[in-house]
Chains A and B, each alone.
Chain A
Amino acid sequence: MTTRQEAARVHDLSSRHESGDTPREVRRAAGALESAVLEILRGASEPLSPGDVRQRLETGQGAALSYSTVVTIVSRLHAKGLLDRQRVGRGFTYTPLDEVSLAAGRMNQALGRGTDHDAVLSRFVSGLSSRDARLLRALLASDASPQAGDPGRGEGRG
């Protein structure tokens, strides 16, 4: 489906939503909205805030969406690993991820969900419990002898 068809469908579905449709169609409309938002972000040359996205959605199709709806959509896209976000002031701006990182992100989701992904992927570090974190800090601190140079580095703050 091309972008234009997609956008037309979004408009179509959202207007039907207003006239009172079944929940299934509403859900489908949400999916279409997500792809419309994604298209806008991919077409943009700079990171966009939810407000920017909302503005462009409106000028694109004339459908009025509430600010909170747009925030919900971009957060969902971010949770799905389709968008990268940067904190700006009190909110976030969003950029789409490129193909390679999308593939890697999908892979993370696909492999991360199963119980035996550990049998396939070998991660560099596993999680740290708070006890482990304390112990690790103490281990690295005890090792940071004067000839090691910069002891602060060993603590890995970042």
Chain B
Amino acid sequence: MWLLYLPLVIPALAGAAARPLANRLEPRQATWLLTSATVALAGCSLAALALLAAYAAARTRALAVLGDYSQSVIRRGDPISEAAGAIAALALAGAAVAVVVMSRNWVRALVESYRRAARLSADDGIVVVPGPAIEAYALPGWPGRIVVSGCLLDRLDDDRRAALIAHERAHLDGRHHLFAAVARLAAAANPLLLPVARAVEYTVERWADERAAAVTGNRRMVAQTIGQVAFLASPRRRRTAGISLGMIGARALLRSAVWAGPVPRRVAALLAAPPRRRTILLAACAAIVLLAGVSALETARDLHALVELAQESGS
């Protein structure tokens, strides 16, 4: 019976593993793995909640009469308490509401994005925006647009401009917003998956960074571009605090970037060696996700068998 709780425990495990995986796996692989894992795990945990609720519901008299089975057999064979069933039903309802609200908001944002993209006239899909903002983003659409502030372009040399544009173009070509959206939707269904959804947001950035590195042929330059834009975009800070970190060696620095925000992690990844594909790690992750699916399925079969048993001895 403990199998029923496995689909609820594995997402927590995935949440803890998401960041190390995002750091270690090749970004494209990581994006596919983590996104499909969020969908599979969200599905499994919803199924587990539904089963918990169903077990509890099966104990009620009304359902026993309706389904023509023996209530006492169910009560004897059913390991789920009414309280657990009620909590599961509530969680299920909450998840359904969260998913509906989030998908509605997302569809609205996407429709708005397509409308704006269609209205912006652009050379080569690039819209240069005047004004003081330091800004660059990919706007999904048909076709998608790359929006960059002229103020930012002015401060980048040609190579770095190319890196910036290649990065944003990779987002549009790879439809990265869909991966991020799917993962967030899954996390709405099960908040334990939130770290995984954040990891997907990071891996699509890494994916675009690696594309930019491939297009420009210079990983270090892409790293420097990210660094430069990040400093331009964030308000000026006092520099004195930097001294303490200046003492640390390069390897230790790369290690300490593992738990930092996305920008230093991306820069550290680009300064390190190019990522390798890791088939064994990938297979191990897929196996764990599969385990969640199998255990949900197994519990569903248990419930079915129990109800059948109760039907035979009922009425």
A10–B137 Cα distance when bound, in Å, is 39
Contacts of B138 in A (CB 8 A): 121-122
In terms of DSSP, what is the predominant structure of the interface of chain A?
Answer: helix
B24 to chain A, nearest CB (A): 18
Flag whether B237 is at the interface (Cβ < 8 A): yes
Flag whether A65 is at the interface (Cβ < 8 A): no
Contacts of B268 in A (CB 8 A): 139
Flag whether A129 is at the interface (Cβ < 8 A): yes
* Selected contact of A123 from candidates B131, B136, B246, B249, CB within 8 Å: B136
A81–B257 Cα distance when bound, in Å, is 36
Residue pair A138, B201 in contact (C-beta under 8 Å) = no
A100–B149 Cα distance when bound, in Å, is 11
**CB 8 Å contact bits of A28-42 with B (1 = contact, 0 = none):** 000000000000000
**CB 8 Å contact bits of A112-155 with B (1 = contact, 0 = none):** 00111111111111111111111111111111000010000111
* Selected contact of B106 from candidates A108, A120, A156, CB within 8 Å: A120
A33–B234 Cα distance when bound, in Å, is 34
Flag whether A64 is at the interface (Cβ < 8 A): no
A132–B136 Cα distance when bound, in Å, is 20
Nearest 4 Cβ contacts at the A-B interface: A156-B228, A124-B136, A156-B231, A138-B245
A143–B267 Cα distance when bound, in Å, is 10
A134–B230 Cα distance when bound, in Å, is 12
**8 Å CB interface, B123-154 against A:** 127, 129-133, 135-140, 147
Contacts of A111 in B (CB 8 A): 109, 112-113, 116
Flag whether B226 is at the interface (Cβ < 8 A): yes
A11–B227 Cα distance when bound, in Å, is 51
- A interface residues, how many (CB within 8 angstroms): 51
Residue pair B261, A132 in contact (C-beta under 8 Å) = yes
Residue pair A122, B204 in contact (C-beta under 8 Å) = yes
Flag whether A110 is at the interface (Cβ < 8 A): yes
- Which chain B residue lies CB-closest to A142? B250
Contacts of B119 in A (CB 8 A): 103
Q: How large is the interface on B (under 10, 10 to 19, 20 to 34, 35 or more residues)?
A: 35 or more
Residue pair B257, A119 in contact (C-beta under 8 Å) = no
Residue pair A139, B116 in contact (C-beta under 8 Å) = no
A155 to chain B, nearest CB (A): 7
Stretch at the interface among B1-9, B43-51, B177-185, B302-310: B177-185
Contacts of A84 in B (CB 8 A): 130-132
Knowing A120-B113, A124-B137, the reply to whether A140 touches B241 (Cβ < 8 A) is: no
In terms of DSSP, what is the predominant structure of the interface of chain B?
Answer: helix
Show 13 residue pairs from A and B whose CB-CB distance is below 8 angstroms, ordered by the A residue: A101-B129, A101-B130, A118-B180, A118-B201, A122-B168, A124-B167, A134-B241, A135-B245, A136-B267, A139-B223, A140-B227, A148-B220, A156-B229
A84–B227 Cα distance when bound, in Å, is 26
Residue pair A136, B224 in contact (C-beta under 8 Å) = no
* Selected contact of B271 from candidates A104, A137, A143, CB within 8 Å: A143
Contacts of B250 in A (CB 8 A): 142-143
Flag whether B97 is at the interface (Cβ < 8 A): no
**CB 8 Å contact bits of B218-246 with A (1 = contact, 0 = none):** 00100110111111111001010110111
**8 Å CB interface, A70-107 against B:** 81, 84-85, 97-98, 100-101, 103-105, 107
Residue pair B261, A128 in contact (C-beta under 8 Å) = yes
A122–B147 Cα distance when bound, in Å, is 10
A114–B137 Cα distance when bound, in Å, is 16
A157–B239 Cα distance when bound, in Å, is 11
Contacts of A140 in B (CB 8 A): 223-224, 227, 267
- Which chain B residue lies CB-closest to A131? B260
A97–B248 Cα distance when bound, in Å, is 47
A141–B262 Cα distance when bound, in Å, is 18
Flag whether A158 is at the interface (Cβ < 8 A): yes
Residue pair B260, A132 in contact (C-beta under 8 Å) = yes
A117–B110 Cα distance when bound, in Å, is 9
Contacts of A132 in B (CB 8 A): 260-261, 263-264
11 extra A-B contacts, CB within 8 A, seeds A122-B204, A137-B239, A153-B224: A81-B131, A84-B130, A121-B138, A122-B176, A124-B137, A125-B226, A127-B234, A135-B257, A142-B249, A143-B220, A155-B228
